[in-house]
Amino acid sequence: MCSNPIFVVGYMHSGTTMLVNILGEHPDVWRVKGETRFFSHAPLYRLRYPNLENDDTLRDLIHTLASGIKWSGADMVRDETGIKRDQLDAIFDSVKLTREYATVFRAVFDHMSRSAGCARWTEKTPTHIFHISEILEAIPDAYFVEIVRDPRDVLASKKTRRASIWTTERYTSTQRPMKALALAYDPFWDYSVVEIGHSSGTEST
C-alpha cells in the first residue's frame, strides 16, 4: 500500500491544477489523471455500480477509476485505453474480499502509483474540500493541500473562462451551455465567494 496519498483541494480557478502538476513532477509522486470527483459524486458511483458483489460490476468500477475520468455534468467519460488486463486483474484480486467503494478507489491508485515506480499518488478534485472527513474515514493517512487565492482574482479568472467558452472551438454548441453553467462566472453564485473572502480577511497568495 502506498503511504500518505495527497489530495489537492480548493475553490475552482484558485490554482489547484497548477499545484497538482507541480506535485506530480516529483519522482516519487504519481499524479491521477483528471478529477475523479469520487467523494463528491459518491451517489452517482453507487448508482452506476450498485452491486460490487458482482465480479463484472467490480471490474467495471476498477476500469473506470483507472482509465482517467472526465465529467460532463452528471455523465462520466473514460479513456478506454487507460488500463491493461493484467493491471485490472491485480487490482481486482486485492479488493475482491472487501468490495467497498473507497477501498477500490484507493487500491486502484495505489497500484497505478506502484506500477509507475512511485511511493505515493496525488489527486486533484477541488470539491473534495467539502468531503475531508469522509476521505479521512476511508483513507486515514491521507494528506491535504489546500490552495487559497484572493477571491477577486478567482472571479476575474472565471470571467475570462466564461468568454472563452462561448468563442473556443473546443466545445460544440450543445456543450457550451453546460460548460458555462459548471465552470464560468455566475454573478449570483460567485458573489458569495467575494463576500466570504472579504469577511475572513483572505489575502492573495
Q: What is the predicted pLDDT for the residue at 73?
A: 46
Residue-averaged pLDDT of the chain: 81
Quickly state the pLDDT bin for 182 (edges 50, 70, 90).
low
The whole-number pLDDT of residue 171 equals 73
Q: Say which residue, 44 or 73, is predicted with more confidence.
A: 44
Confidence at 94, pLDDT banded by 50, 70, 90 = very high
pLDDT of residue 74: 47
Q: 191 pLDDT band (50/70/90 cuts)?
A: low
Average the pLDDT over each of 27-31, 41-45, 127-131, 162-166 and give the range with the smallest value.
162-166
State mean pLDDT over 82-97.
88
pLDDT in the model for residue 162? 67
Distance CA(95)–CA(114), nearest Å, equals 16
Segment 100-111, tens digit of pLDDT:
999 999 999 999
- One DSSP character per residue, 118-147 reads -SEEEEE-GGGGGGHHHHHHH-TT-EEEE-
- Tell which wins on pLDDT, 170 or 56: 56
**In this model, does residue 170 exceed pLDDT 80?**
no
| Contact assessment for residue 166 and residue 180, using Cβ atoms and an 8 Å cutoff | yes
Q: Check residue 202 and give its pLDDT.
A: 46
- CA-CA distance, 89 to 72, in Å (whole number)? 29
Q: How far is CA 161 from the centre of its chain?
A: 20
Type of residue found at 19: L
In terms of DSSP H, where are the helices of the chain?
16-24, 42-48, 55-66, 85-95, 101-115, 132-138, 151-165, 176-183, 187-200
Q: Averaged over 54-70, what is the pLDDT?
A: 86
